[in-house]
Amino acid sequence: MSGSNLTRTEAEERKSVVTGPVHYAVSLDLTQGAKDFISKSTITFDARPGETTFVDLIADAVSSIDLNGESLDPQICFADSRIELPALSDHNVLTVVSTCQYSTTGEGLHRSVDPADGNVYLYSQFEVPDARRVYAVFDQPDIKATFDFDVNAPQSWIVTSNMPVKGTQDLGGTTAEGTLGEHPAESVKHWIFQTTPVMSSYLTAICAGPYAQWHTEYANEDGRIVTMAQYCRQSLAEDFAKDVDYLFDVTKKGFAFYAKTWGVPYPYAKYDQIYVPEYNAGAMENIGMVTIRDSYVFGSKVTDALAERRVVTVLHELAHMWFGDLVTMKWWNDLWLNESFAEFMSSLCTAEATEWKDSWATFTSGEKSWALVQDQMPTTHPITAPINDLHDTEVNFDGITYAKGASVLKQLVAYVGRDRFFKGINSYLNKYQYANATLADLLNELEVASGRDLKAWSRQWLEESGIDTIAADVTTSADGTISSMTLTQSAPAEHPVVRSQRMGIGFYDLNAATGKVTRSQSFELDVDGEKTTVPQVVGKKRPDFILLNDNDLTYAKLRFDDASREFAAENLYRFDDSLARAVVWLAFCDMTRDGEYSAERFIDVSLKMLSTEHESTTFRYALAALKTTAKLYVAAERREDVSKRVAQGLWDLANAAEPGSDEQFQLVGAYLDYGEEGDAPFVSNVRGLLDGTLKLQGLEIDNNLRWQLITALASVSAFDDAAIDAELKANDTTANREFAYGARASVPTAQAKEWAWQEAIYNTELTNSQLDAAARGFCATAKGKLAQPYVSKYFETVDWIWKNRTFHMAETLLVDLYPVYCDAAELVRLGDVWLESHADADRALRGMIIQNVDASRRVLKVSQANSNAA
């Protein structure tokens, strides 16, 4: 793994040495060509006299190091991405001049050339700690500082940073060859930015290029005018212009909602959102200038799920301006303070301040399902995870930190009460503004506000791993009334923590007149210990269905009583409440993953539900679960027949769906995943959609759907490389280059698989997005004899990947190249051999392999259970 690691112990030691205010003056020269840029970092800081410490820097070369007026030899002081600083004074001035390298991986300062017009775009991405790829820095969250940035850039570019522009100056001169790609050289412009407030280095940012731009203002709750801007590539400007006003409006609603809810107005001078290419994440909360992946610029039709996800993402990053930016964790073990809170608040804000009123159903189907899967793996960890070093942090951006943490916060709000919860948050934000805080600091403020002792709650929910199961047992009298109801709570043996939970119980009945299943009553109770009786229901008429965790207040696996389960299996498609449907569907999905419920019956339940489901994210995740179940969990001897049945069911639903609807669009996309070589009807359907001889009313074959159709044909050897190249030549864009990589990698031939394997692993010229497309395309059709050689090849290549690729690229390769559709028993056998022989491998690396092997182990278990039950 390239780059230097940093342990928590080292960070604590450095923090003890660097004692006083820290200030950076960072100068970047972005006019030096296509590969490198010049970085000058001057750091002033107080320290314990006589001590030695270090600054972080990943650079091609260091030309000079000056500490307190004395020149240090880079050959001696610069090694392993660190510069040693000996014999410090009480007040120090350090200046480092270096040559740093642009990345194509989304780490550090990313450089992208748009094939549509040849324009060059730069943007920074510094989390976890990649500011060190751009300037010399104490790159840890608890050494906060103020920053002055200035940048030399080509005359035609704009440059943005965390703060407003202080001034610009034309310098003349000429940019070096390659700076502007194939465009002619230009004169140079100097940009100077205002001094930042105190902040962590990973939140600093620089973006530069000929971005298209839009501007507006927001009347902040503290009386200030906050300037706002949106940016994107010029080639996307026409499409983005259609959404800019909407996105400004969503952001302003977020400003108002957060300020009202927390009682703290937006704290910074401006708020920019810049949509950037080839991003390796969803977005990043840089103070005053959020970067967002520009796949969120919609030039083609997208699902409502993705449109809503864009809103949630915008509001998630905005929430970070308070939670994470204004108040920052001291070390990465409290990453959840940033991410869980932003995830919870963005769903709350989306549901209450935008048109996406079913956002909590979206959260249940999308986010909570992610948490549930990851929390049942051997790699599960407490929400407040033990983080020993940076590699531990990098794999902690997961379903536990984001989705489980947000679920637990929702539970906490129900436990202490909403008003008291946010009163505590107000106190926390005011007390620790512009500083660092810990879990203990947050809990203390919430305890004061709520009057509850939260230490026991924290131990159960934040400091212990695993998920509990709550099962219902209901007895009914001869007259149809409930005589008893008991909830049994159990914990997995490896994480035996039975938690206290606040939970809703809902009664639902089928209305014969409307054909809908509706809630007739609901109430809340505390579930504590292994057995909880529910006296509130005794003597009440037994409803058709009893929903555990009504309104989704808690985080647990659910097992309904027998009568309720059977009713839901037959009538889930009739439930009129989107959140109730999401909770019930997720329970069925979980039972199926555990081998407790027939995979084929779950498929029937899901297909029936899809005939009436209109909540887009639930629809999307139901389709994904269908695919996993049909291709992996069904008994091995039944998979081929079941997959054909599912494909036909999806095609029938697509033809019956409302023309032009989100459901029609999603169903067609899902159908495209079920092609097999020799399936003439599939080829006929897909080719007909592509060439226009087959039409589904309301379905527009736009650019992105066209590439989905091409990839589907390529995956069954019905669209060759020459045809793919011709399609790309006709419309060569950044996104279409990625689609083309995925399509070529999907071709089910030995030559195509070897090409995709070699390109993904060894072609360092690929951008992170192209690499991802090649890896996913490889895996999508890596089946049977075609892919069998890659089972052993995968485990033989793991070490090389980890050693030679950056973390994000290694993670993509190790996850997306794992041949999940190969023989699961062989994957488990070789995976266990690798793990046994790599007991001392980096925890992050072992974690990825453990998760892959555990998924294959589950396939073996569940498919065998379905085979035995047949």
- The catalytic residue positions are 317
Q: Which residues contact 461 (CB under 8 A, 6 or more apart)?
A: 383, 408, 411, 412, 499
Taking alpha carbons only, the member of 362, 371, 369 closest to residue 578 is 362
Q: CB of 273 within 8 A of CB of 240?
A: no
- From CA 18, how far away is CA 145, in angstroms rounded? 11
Q: Which residues contact 2 (CB under 8 A, 6 or more apart)?
A: 804, 805, 806
Taking alpha carbons only, the member of 205, 226, 369, 352 closest to residue 287 is 205
H helix or E strand, kind and range, residue 776: helix 768-780
Q: CB of 611 within 8 A of CB of 553?
A: no
Q: Which residues contact 379 (CB under 8 A, 6 or more apart)?
A: 847, 850, 851, 854
CA angle at 810 for the pair 807 and 811, rounded to the nearest 5°:
85
Q: CB of 93 within 8 A of CB of 132?
A: no
H helix or E strand, kind and range, residue 588: helix 578-593
Sheet holding 225-232, edge to edge: 212-219, 225-232, 270-276, 289-293, 283-284
Taking alpha carbons only, the member of 354, 235, 263 closest to residue 304 is 354
CA angle at 298 for the pair 292 and 304, rounded to the nearest 5°:
95
The pair of three-digit structure tokens given for residue 374, joined into one six-digit string: 């990851």
Query: Phi, psi (5° rounding) for residue 214?
Result: -135, 145
Neighbour tally for 541: CB within 10 Å: 13
Q: CB of 179 within 8 A of CB of 34?
A: yes
The pair of three-digit structure tokens given for residue 424, joined into one six-digit string: 């505590």
Query: For 290, which DSSP code?
Result: E
The pair of three-digit structure tokens given for residue 322, joined into one six-digit string: 């308070």
Type of residue found at 624? A
CA angle at 61 for the pair 59 and 64, rounded to the nearest 5°:
110
Q: CB of 651 within 8 A of CB of 672?
A: no
3-state secondary structure 117-165: CCCEEEEEECCCCCHHHCCCECCCCCCCEEEEEEEEEECCCEEEECCCE
- Rounded (to 5) percent helix, strand, coil in the chain: 45, 20, 30
- From CA 123, how far away is CA 129, in angstroms rounded? 15
Taking alpha carbons only, the member of 578, 632, 557 closest to residue 602 is 632
Q: In b/e form, how buried is each residue of 555-583, taking b as 16+ CB within 10 angstroms? A: bbbbbbbeebbebbbebbbbbebbbbbbb
The pair of three-digit structure tokens given for residue 864, joined into one six-digit string: 């065998």
- From CA 842, how far away is CA 720, in angstroms rounded? 41
Q: In b/e form, how buried is each residue of 395-414, taking b as 16+ CB within 10 angstroms? A: bbebbbbbbbbbbbbbbbbb
The label of the residue with tokens 């970092």 reads 41
Instruction: To the nearest 10°, report the CA torsion of 675, 677, 679, 682.
Output: 40
Taking alpha carbons only, the member of 247, 249, 289 closest to residue 272 is 289
